[in-house]
């Protein structure tokens, strides 16, 4: 029998089948992935840094290109720590030359490339498959890079570091998710509990929601420059024990979104607390090279833990660094690493198995990380330019950290702790009761309502404090200190005018 096929137009509202006729509406009911069938844990994930306010900022930017009625001509993106996107920082020559050479070795024949970069490129490519950065690397990352990271850590802390304890990853975020995954028990009735600071970087709450873990929230002490209060840690842990099995503790130092740098004494007390309760330490130290306030100093958790001696130097810990943060700001490379110490050998086998399933992190990100932790040394051809560029970036960040805190504190109803490190300020704002009640009637967090109004009336895009969580009854927002100095001054003056107007309107 001759089969005759009739192809209907693509936009037909009817689909013909052997079983009969099915309308498009009926066919849609057969979708296997809907909001009803979607993994419920995914729906719990929130990430305020790129949330609704940022989406609205993008919409406004498009409208600003044509005729518009906004009382401003540009959006000031102060919502995310992206150094290069801020328009105030150009790539570091040494890093880009090194990555360029690794990507296209023919460039190394040019006399424009310093000899120290050529030798570094040759060393790295010599251990890559086919001498190409396009080849898969070892699952943990390229061995020479791990050796250089171990040397960097040893120089920083004064204690040995083993390249076999180093894991390169796609940004610190990828490594953090891997470590937290190891701590899960998959018990729906009493899941693993992870202590996270409040305010906290939304990666942690999002990851714990995704994994079905319990978030043990401990409040940072705003009145003491966002330090960790041991009594508060004990309170948070004790109140959680009926709901979860506490497994780990996250510390962000220097802080995001709060910009604090923890004192040595504070870190020691936190380590003693973690040891007392047998908690795995997750030390997020991606801003370790960003310390601005005179008198502040970064102390790594590893060094402090080792300095304390037995039994603390036997504690399990993962510490993280990133190519995205620091002063170099190579966010798009997605480079990062973590060091695992004092891990059970059988557990390590399982870790290696887990990461091998993803083959390896991006080799380009690894190369950027290699350049960051092994910069030119004094006497090498690239050193003077590198030193000059680094000093310019660091000095600008230090200037803006001081400027932002001073300017915000000059505004009525605003209080801002010193920006000691990282690249953010987290000012506290006093909102009128009427504005709070109005926001709640719109089913909005009061500081989210405030930040939406700030965007619509000034073009300033910041992230509401509620996106990072905060002490009940308080309201904040996070802003970066990355825009140029003149733009930061302009931003704060626009903010001042808006804030005073907002207070008058809602009082």
Distance between CA atoms of residues 144 and 174, nearest Å = 21
CATH number at residue 208: 3.40.640.10
Distance between CA atoms of residues 329 and 380, nearest Å = 23
- Same domain (yes/no): 328, 227: yes
In 355-442, where do the E strands start and end?
414-415, 424-425, 428-429
What band does 87 get if pLDDT is binned at 50, 70 and 90?
low
Q: Tell me, what's the pLDDT at 49?
A: 55
Residue range 20-34: mean pLDDT, rounded: 57
Calculate helix-pair angle for 363-373, 115-125, nearest 10 degrees: 140
Handedness of CA 394, 196, 464, 59 (dihedral sign): positive
In a domain, 106, yes or no: no
- Same domain (yes/no): 361, 442: no
- Same domain (yes/no): 337, 454: no
Helix residue ranges, H only, 161-308: 171-182, 202-211, 230-240, 264-276, 301-307
CATH number at residue 499: 3.90.1150.10
% the chain with pLDDT above 70: 89
- Same domain (yes/no): 341, 255: yes
Q: Tell me, what's the pLDDT at 263?
A: 95
**Mean residue pLDDT across the chain:** 87
Nearest-5° angle of CA 376, CA 380, CA 382? 60
Which residues are 336's β-sheet partners? 169, 322
* SS3 state of residue 453: helix
Total domains in the chain come to: 2
Which of 24, 38, 4, 90 lies closest to 329 in space, CA to CA? 90
If one compares 273 and 65, the residue with the highest pLDDT of the two is: 273
Write the burial class of residue 156 (CB in 10 Å: 0-12 exposed, 13-18 middle, 19+ buried): middle
In a domain, 107, yes or no: no
In a domain, 86, yes or no: no
Cα dihedral angle (354, 374, 424, 385), rounded to 10 degrees?
-150
- Same domain (yes/no): 486, 419: yes
In a domain, 99, yes or no: no
- Same domain (yes/no): 325, 470: no
Asked if residue 31 has pLDDT above 80, the reply is: no
The pLDDT tens digits of the residues spanning 295-351 come to 899 999 999 999 999 999 999 999 999 988 777 878 777 889 999 999 999 888 888
In a domain, 17, yes or no: no
Q: How many CB atoms lie within 10 A of CB 271?
A: 24
Buried b (16+ CB within 10 A) or exposed e, 253-263: bbbbbbbbbbb
Asked if residue 354 has pLDDT above 80, the reply is: yes
Distance between CA atoms of residues 399 and 201, nearest Å = 24
The pLDDT tens digits of the residues spanning 99-138 come to 999 999 988 888 888 999 999 999 999 998 888 888 888 8
Q: Tell me, what's the pLDDT at 32?
A: 67
- Same domain (yes/no): 184, 282: yes
- Domain range for residue 440? 48-80+394-506
Which of 86, 200, 13 lies closest to 484 in space, CA to CA? 86
What band does 489 get if pLDDT is binned at 50, 70 and 90?
confident
Cβ within 8 Å of residue 59, ≥6 positions away: none
Highest mean pLDDT among 168-182, 370-384, 484-498: 370-384
Asked if residue 1 has pLDDT above 50, the reply is: no
Asked if residue 362 has pLDDT above 90, the reply is: no
Q: Tell me, what's the pLDDT at 129?
A: 87
Structure tokens at 502: 């907002």
């Amino acid at each position: 029998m001759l089969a005759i096929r009739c192809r209907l137009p693509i936009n037909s509202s009817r689909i013909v089948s052997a079983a009969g006729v099915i309308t498009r509406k009926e066919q849609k009911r057969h979708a296997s992935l809907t909001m009803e069938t979607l993994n419920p844990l995914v729906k719990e994930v929130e990430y305020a840094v790129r949330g609704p306010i940022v989406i609205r900022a993008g919409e406004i930017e498009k409208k600003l290109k044509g005729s518009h009625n906004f009382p401003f001509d540009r959006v000031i993106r102060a919502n995310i720590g992206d150094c290069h996107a801020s328009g105030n920082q150009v790539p570091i020559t040494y890093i880009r030359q090194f990555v360029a050479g690794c990507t296209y070795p023919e460039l190394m024949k040019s006399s424009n490339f310093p000899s120290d970069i050529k030798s570094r490129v040759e060393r790295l490519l010599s251990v890559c498959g086919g001498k190409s950065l396009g080849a898969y690397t070892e699952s943990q990352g390229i061995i020479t890079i791990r050796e250089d990271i171990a040397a960097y850590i040893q120089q920083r802390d004064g204690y040995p570091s083993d390249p076999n304890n180093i894991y390169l990853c796609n940004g610190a975020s990828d490594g953090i998710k891997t470590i937290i995954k190891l701590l899960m028990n998959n018990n729906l009735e009493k899941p693993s509990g992870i202590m996270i600071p409040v305010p906290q970087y939304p990666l942690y709450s999002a990851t714990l929601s995704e994994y079905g873990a319990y978030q043990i929230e401990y409040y940072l002490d705003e009145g003491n420059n966002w330090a960790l209060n041991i009594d508060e840690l004990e309170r948070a842990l004790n109140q959680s024990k009926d709901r979860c099995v506490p497994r780990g503790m996250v510390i962000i130092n220097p802080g995001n979104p709060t910009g604090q740098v923890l004192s040595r004494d504070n870190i020691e007390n936190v380590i003693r607390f973690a040891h007392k309760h047998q908690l795995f330490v997750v030390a997020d130290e991606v801003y370790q090279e960003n310390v601005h306030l005179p008198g502040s100093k970064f102390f790594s958790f590893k060094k402090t833990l080792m300095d304390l001696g037995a039994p603390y130097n036997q504690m399990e810990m993962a510490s993280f660094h990133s190519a995205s943060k620091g002063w170099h700001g190579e966010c798009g490379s997605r480079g990062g690493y973590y060091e695992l110490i004092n891990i059970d050998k059988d557990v390590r086998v399982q870790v290696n198995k887990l990461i091998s399933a993803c083959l390896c992190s991006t080799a380009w990100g690894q190369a950027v990380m290699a350049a960051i932790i092994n910069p030119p040394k004094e006497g090498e051809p690239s050193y003077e330019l590198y030193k000059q560029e680094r000093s310019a970036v660091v000095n600008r960040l230090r200037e803006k950290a001081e400027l932002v805190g001073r300017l915000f504190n000059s505004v009525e109803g605003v209080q801002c702790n010193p920006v000691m490190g990282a690249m953010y300020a987290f000012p506290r704002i006093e909102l009128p009761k009427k504005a709070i009640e109005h926001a709640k009637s719109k089913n909005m967090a009061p500081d989210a309502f405030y930040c939406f109004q700030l965007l619509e009336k000034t073009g300033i895009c910041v992230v509401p404090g509620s996106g990072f969580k905060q002490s009940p009854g308080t309201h904040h927002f996070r802003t970066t200190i990355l825009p140029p100095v003149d733009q930061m001054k302009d931003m704060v003056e626009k903010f001042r005018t808006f804030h005073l107007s907002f207070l008058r309107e809602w009082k």
